[in-house]
Amino acid sequence: MFARAVAAFSHRVLQTSRRKSLSTHQYLSAAAIQYRSLKEATPEEWKVGIQQFNKVASSSQQAIRMLDMLRVQKGTNIGALVDLYEHGLQTATRAYRDGANEETIVVALLHDVGELITPISHGEIAGSILRPYISQQNYWILMHHEIFQAYYYGDAAGATVDKNARDDFKDHEFYEECIKFCEKWDQAAFDPEYDTLPLEFFEPMVHRVLARRPYTDPELLNDPINVAKSKIAGGYPEAN
Ligand SMILES: [Fe+2]
Ligand SMILES: [Fe+2]
């Protein structure tokens, strides 16, 4: 008897979940979307599709997903006295207390969200995601910070690491700012005793930066890939 009741319940759950997944699909196909390849899409279909897309990829959802990339680092032992979640918060707290602007604080908070995904090129992860919304200088710092960080642990690491690899960029206009980012905030943010501010303090800042209109910094438009991407930005969710 009990087994039959369980089976009936499971069947109902299965049917309900099937109805749910079908109903989303049916809404789009029956209501307005028929295309099977992008080149068949009509303006009417596109309008309906982009409205749905904007519901699942709004700027505020982008911010939540980016913050989740930081949260997921919590509790992973990286061989230091703090984890990368704490390290990000502490880097941002130090930047905040030094009077950095909001965008730079957000860059400090999120600079290592890619470190466990691709350690050897992790600056590119945060850099790529934030690039449309931040200055060319902060983008450059994200892309190069791990090279500059080596200066501070190079002696401890020994011959396998060139602590002076940053010298390759000595003549670059953002060289000194990248040193400042690493010296004052990033390399210093491994102290478990530091009075680090909680994530809630920084969350609204992340939302505000990701709500900016993409590719508005004129300097970004010196790079052809940004010019081209700015030309198609209208096809993606508007800031909201
Ligand atoms: Fe890093
Ligand atoms: Fe870092």
Helix axes 84-97, 102-110, angle to 10 degrees: 160
173 vs 141: CA distance, rounded Å = 11
What pLDDT is attached to residue 78?
A: 96
- Residue 192: helix, strand or coil by DSSP? coil
Is 8 within the bounds of a domain?
A: no
DSSP 8-class letter at 181 = I
Closest ligand to C-alpha of residue 94 is 2
User: What total of structural domains would you count in the chain?
Assistant: 1
Contacts for 211 with CB less than 8 Å, ≥ 6 apart: 59, 60, 63, 239, 240
The values of phi and psi at residue 237, to 5°, are -55, 140
CA of 238 to the centre of ligand 1 (A): 30
* CATH assignment of the domain containing 167: 1.10.3210.10
Report, as an integer, the average pLDDT of 31-58. Answer: 90
Look at residue 51 in the predicted model and tell me its pLDDT.
87
Distance 237 CA to ligand 1 centre (A): 29
pLDDT at site 119: 94
Per-residue model confidence (pLDDT) at position 238? 64
pLDDT at 234 over 80: no
Q: Please report whether residue 218 resides in a domain.
A: yes
Q: How does pLDDT run across 128-137, given as a tens digit for each residue?
A: 999 999 999 9
Report which bound ligand comes closest to the CA of 91: 2
212: left (phi over 0), alpha (psi -120 to 50) or beta: beta
- Rounded to the nearest angstrom, the distance between the alpha carbon of 145 and the centre of ligand 1 is 6
Q: Ligand 2 centre and the CA of 112: distance in Å?
A: 5
Copy the structure tokens of residue 9.
């319940």
Domain boundaries, position 110 = 59-235
Is 54 part of any domain?
A: no
What number is the average pLDDT over the span 88-97? 98
Q: What is residue 13's predicted lDDT score, i.e. its pLDDT? A: 43
The Cα 70–Cα 161 span in angstroms is 27
> Burial of 19 by CB count in 10 Å (0-12 exposed, 13-18 middle, 19+ buried)?
exposed
* Residue 106 Cα to ligand 1 middle (Å): 14
Region 27-38: mean pLDDT is: 78
DSSP string of 132-169, one letter each residue: GGS-HHHHHHHHHHHHHHHHHHHHHHGGGS-TTGGGGG
User: Residue 153 domain-assigned?
Assistant: yes
Look at residue 61 in the predicted model and tell me its pLDDT. 93
Residue whose C-alpha is closest to residue 142's, from 158, 155, 159, 129 = 129
Structure confidence by residue, pLDDT tens digits, 149-190? 999 999 999 989 999 999 999 999 999 999 999 999 999 999
In a domain, 1, yes or no: no
Residue 115 belongs to a domain: yes
What pLDDT is attached to residue 193? Answer: 98
Mean pLDDT of 109-126: 96
Q: Could you tell me the distance, in angstroms and rounded to a whole number, from the CA of residue 30 to the centre of ligand 1?
A: 48
Longest dimension (CA), the chain: 80
pLDDT-derived band at 25 (thresholds 50, 70, 90) equals: low
Task: Name the least confident of 19-28, 56-65, 110-119.
Answer: 19-28
How would DSSP label each residue in 41-81?
A: --HHHHHHHHHHHHHHS-HHHHHHHHHHHHHTTTT---SSS
What's the 227 CA to ligand 1 centre distance in angstroms? 28
> Within a domain: residue 144?
yes
Where is pLDDT greater, at 205 or 213?
Answer: 205
> Residue 84's pLDDT is what?
98
- Residue 102 domain-assigned (yes or no): yes
- The stretch 1-13 carries a mean pLDDT of 48
pLDDT over 60 (residue 21): no
Number of the ligand closest to the Cα of 142: 1
Residue 107 alpha carbon to ligand 2 centre in Å: 11
Residue 15 has pLDDT above 80, yes or no: no
Task: Kindly give the distance from the C-alpha atom of residue 115 to the centroid of ligand 1, in angstroms, as a whole number.
Answer: 6
pLDDT tens-place string over residues 118-129: 999 999 999 999
The ligand with the least distance to the CA atom of 182 is 2
**What element of type H or E holds 7?**
helix 2-31
